[in-house]
Amino acid sequence: MIPSRRRVVLTCEHATWAVPEGFGVEASVLHSHVGWDEGARPLAEGLAAAWDAPLVVARWSRLWIDTNRSEDAPDLVPAVAFGVPIPANEGADRAERLPAWRAFRAEAERHLVQALAAGPVLHLSVHTFEPAVDPARRTYSVGLLFDPDRPAEVRVVETLAARLEAAGFETRRNEPYQGIEDGHTSGCRRRWPDPAYAGVELEVSRPVAVSRGAAVVRALVAGD
């Protein structure tokens, strides 16, 4: 059952490690957690199929351009911020990379506007996180990121968390990041008010996503 009977739009900002030809970053880095969110795309595709919802998927690795950052964010082109060595001639040319960011955001906006014209919307931004980054703290299965000052998002998160916990997935609110930090959903909140727009970022532990992703999907759509 779709939370609060809202129309759903799904996005997957870190779906791939692909980069344009000639981008000088080692394949081992691109394929690691700094290059993409392994397991996020299958999760998003499973939810889109279950809810018959549109899904917008990023074309390139976040090391090329991070579609989960604001257009003016200092880490929009994040290779240097991640400490990834890149050839000097790669630089951080925003002008070259911004069209990919704008195309992704425009497609998501189109689906959101269309859905909002018909009623309240849940925008679920699908990600995975790497436990090895902080193994002492990242011991849980799923994080749900939201703005606690937006009641509609609180209600949606409590519904989703109850489903996940009932299925045996330890779930945390606003971990491993804060839902009000810079991201796609936080940017959308500046445009669309509560309760019409509810933006939630789903963060699933990478090992859980790659081994039990189908079970996560089943839990999230429980009641259908």
Delimit the domains of the chain by residue range.
3-220
| Local structure of 11: helix, strand or coil | strand
Q: What one-character DSSP code corresponds to residue 5? A: G
| Local structure of 92: helix, strand or coil | coil
Identity at 28, one-letter amino acid code: S
- Between CA 123 and CA 57 the distance in angstroms is 13
The CATH number of the domain covering residues in 3-220: 3.40.630.40
Residues (pLDDT < 70) of the chain are 78-92, 223-224
pLDDT tens for 117-163 read 999 999 999 999 999 999 999 999 999 999 999 999 999 999 999 99
Contacts of residue 142, defined as CB under 8 A and 6 or more positions apart, other chains included, come to 164, 169, 170, 171, 172, 202, 203, 204, 205, 208, 216
